[in-house]
Structures are given as C-alpha cells and as structure tokens.
Amino acid sequence: MLIKIGYDIELMLSVHSAVIFALYVHPSREADLLAPEDFHVLPDVPVEVFHDMFGNKMGRIFTQAGKVRFTNSATVRDSGLLDEYAPEAAQHEIQDLPTEVLPFVLPSRYCDSDSHLLTFAWNKFGRVPKGWTLVQTIVDWVHQHLKFDYQKARPDRTASDGFKEGTGVCRDFTHLAITLCRCMNIPARYATGYLGDIGVPPVPDPMDFSAWFEVYLGNRWYTFDARHNKQRIGRIVMARGRDASDVALTTVFGSHYLTNFKVVTEEVPE
C-alpha cells in the first residue's frame, strides 16, 4: 500500500534561535520512499543534516526572530501488514543482552524506573510469565489505568506523574509502559512517527504524530502500543530514543510558541 505523509508546522520565535528538529522519516524507512521527502524551511536558511547517537536523521538551523515554518510531503510504500505478533519471543537476562541495548533498561528523563515505580511493578507483575506475556500484561494495565485526554497534555509529565494522575496523551501511555517494562528488566525504547486511521474507524480529532514503544525480546525489537492496545497498519517511524526528550520534533534554544500544526498521514491509491 501507499501512504501519503507530511506536515505544516509553524513556530514564532521571540529572538534569534538555533533549532534542532527530528522531522525526517527514520533512515530505516528511507528505502520505502517513492521519492525523497519534499522538506522545506522558511525562511530559507542553511540546514545542517546529521545523525544523532540513536541513528535518527536530524536537522539544525539558526534563524532570525519571527516565524519559522517547516513543511514536508512524501509517499511511502508500506507492507500493509499489522504490527508483528510473536508470543513465543523470549525475554533475555540482563547479562545476556547486547551492550547497545543496555541504555534501554536504565532510567531516563521521563521514564523514572529507578525508584518511583519499581516496587509497584514487581508486586503487580512479578508472577506473570516473562517475555511477550509480561509485556502484553503491562500494556493491558497501562491502557486501562490511563485516560486519554488532549486537554490535560503537558510536556513535563513523567511516567510516575502519569501513574499518579491517571491521565495523559500517547506519550504518557508510552512512557508509563516503557518504565514498567524497564522495572521488569525488559529493554524498551520510545518511538514516534506517523500513524493514520488505516484499517480502523477514523476518529474526529485532528491528525497528529503518534508515540508507541518497542521492546527487545528474542534478539530483536517488537512494536507495542499502550494507547491503542491493538495491532495497527501503517506505522512510519521518524525517530527512536530512550524517551520523548531524545526525539522531540523541535527543540528551540530561545523563547517561542506554536502557531500552526497540521499533519497528514493517509492511504492513497497505488
């Protein structure tokens, strides 16, 4: 299947500012693009493209005060298959994990697994069979525990905050599920990207980017989604990291506010 993706994002900067952004398709999906992304920045300033420590394709600009606009459009070929289901995938002992996976069992800025939720996790999930069953049990619990509410979104909510408040948006579902997995010694990483209403009833809310997570079982990474708690079609990953702080869409080094935000992700005819 073919999926049209893109966005139109505008920020108002109060002062001359540097901006780092994660607004490209992840390198792992570049081969699926029918043509290079039609990415533009206004005003027309030089863009430095680089890859961060997690392998994400990033950009950096320095621009004057005023409006800065990011636009992009592309068409991606996708398998049209649901997220993979592998109930036989086994959990690794910490000493057997590849060293590059170890950062994803440690606490991070929004996934405070070191103290706040550790005792709860072991009391709640300690008797669940390890591996896929344990991850799915955690996802089921987070999906039931948190109430999705755009009006209560905030950028500084940690996993333990979401646990106590019982509300949040997709990043909060993702942070809490990641944190509980790490508490149970399962490597888990944050993913963000496009996820349209493909193969599911459309929702009336404006389209947005989505957050989900991946766990390392059976020597590879598998996708889970605590917000939707179902296999989905057409995920187009943009960036991966320890949590949302590693994959912020835009990081502005100066005072600013958002003035426009539109996202497109929809199936189109072959």
What digits encode the pLDDT tens for the residues 175-226? 999 999 999 999 999 999 999 999 999 888 889 999 999 999 999 999 999 9
At 91 the pLDDT is 98
What are the boundaries of each domain within the chain?
2-79+249-268, 94-244
Mean pLDDT of 218-243: 98
> What are the beta bridge partners of residue 72?
7
Is 203 in contact with 197 (CB distance < 8 Å)? yes
What pLDDT digit, counting tens, does each position of 25-65 carry?
999 999 999 999 999 999 999 999 999 999 999 999 999 99
Where does residue 94 rank: exposed (0-12), middle (13-18), buried (19+ CB within 10 A)?
exposed
CATH topology of domain 94-244: C8orf32 fold (3.10.620)
CA 108 to CA 246: how far, in whole Å?
Answer: 10
- According to DSSP, the β-strands at 167-168 and 147-148 are parallel
Where does residue 53 rank: exposed (0-12), middle (13-18), buried (19+ CB within 10 A)?
exposed
Query: 3.50.50.60, 3.40.50.620, 2.60.40.2250, 3.40.50.720: which CATH number matches 2-79+249-268?
Result: 2.60.40.2250
Percent of the chain at pLDDT above 70?
A: 100
What φ, ψ does residue 256 adopt, rounded to 5°?
-165, 170
> What are the beta bridge partners of residue 5?
74, 265
Task: Read off the tokens for 141.
Answer: 């619990």
Q: What DSSP character marks residue 84?
A: P
CA 109 to CA 99: how far, in whole Å?
Answer: 20
> pTM of the predicted model, to two decimals?
0.96
Tell whether the torsion through CA atoms of 182, 184, 186 and 188 is positive or negative: negative
What distance lies between CA 19 and its chain's CA centroid?
A: 20
Are both 2-79+249-268 and 94-244 of the same fold? no
Is 175 in contact with 116 (CB distance < 8 Å)? no
pLDDT over 80 (residue 115):
no
Mean pLDDT (the chain, rounded): 96
Name which of 202, 45, 225 is nearest 136 in CA terms. Answer: 225
What pLDDT digit, counting tens, does each position of 88-99 carry?
999 999 999 999
